[in-house]
Amino acid sequence: MSSDKTEPTTSEFAQVLSAVPLRPALLPRQLSDEEFALFARVGAVRQVNQGEIIFRRGELGRSMFIVESGQVQLEFGDGLPDKVIGAREFFGELVLFIGSHTRVANAVAFGAVSLRIVDQETFEKLIANESRLLAQFMRRSFSYLVASEQQLIQSLKRRNEDLMVTLDSLRQTRTQLSTAQRLVQTDELSGLCNRRGLYMFLERLGEHRLPGTVLALLLVDLDRFKQINDRCGHLVGDQVLRAIAEEVQNAASSVDVPCRLGGDEFALLMQVTGEEELRARATQIIGSVRALRFPGAKDRLSVSVSIGGSMCGEQSDWAV
């Protein structure tokens, strides 16, 4: 994709969003050069061998970890995908902000891993001596934690709103709406809206519009899906599709429509404040998908997606 930053128009449907952010930016858990140098200077060194457990889910945490080299996998269990923490990224930071905190995942080393460990006492000294840099680090950390909490709240809010809409719909159209009709609008594998459901939503778009927003569309395509099916089998392929669907769902607000168009193609119809929010949603999906790992698959299967996006005119031909 070209790096020229031209403003899109509503007639330009296929402005491609690269997997690399258009403006260089730190990932949510990635340290800046200054932060990494500071924690590397004060943190205790720990060398970890492949397969060694750094901490277990349910343990009380007392330190934050910074990965100098190698990779650490966070295993959440309960059917949730694992996530990978790489070099210059941190994890376990919540204990520094609120004291002892129960770990919510197992942390396991892949290959030889070099860590720096920062405990609460060391962190308190840094706050006193490196207040500017620590304020920057804490602000970004809190933003990440708040975003995670907001994502959970949005999910619960969506469920509540979906329930209220469903109850209202049943009251108004009880004689017309049947279970079969609802199933026709829903993708069975992912639980998302399907193509038919998306078009039905578009027919009633005026009922759901929020003031002060514009419509935007993301098209999400899973890379090399046929190779995943061929190498790992269709059960793993279905697991991957469900995980991608969940990340698309997580990027949606309560007024957005995440859907599976078919096969390995997904879409997210959004009401956003502008192009910057469109880019941020796409970057969120790309980053969260990259961090997925599938324990039941061979060779630590990781996946990626390609995303195209556009601001949309409401009078446009949606089929096109």
Which residues are identified as catalytic?
Answer: 264
In this structure, which long-range contacts are made by residues 272-276, counting pairs with CB atoms below 8 Å and at least 24 apart in sequence?
A: 272/213, 272/214, 272/215, 272/216, 273/212, 273/213, 273/214, 274/214, 275/7, 275/8, 275/311
What stretches of 223-294 adopt beta strand conformation (E)? 257-262, 265-272, 292-293
* Sign of the C-alpha dihedral computed for residues 284, 276, 160 and 245 taken in this order: negative
* Structural contact between residues 252 and 284, judged by C-beta atoms closer than 8 angstroms: no
Helix and strand tally (H, E) in the chain?
Answer: 9, 14
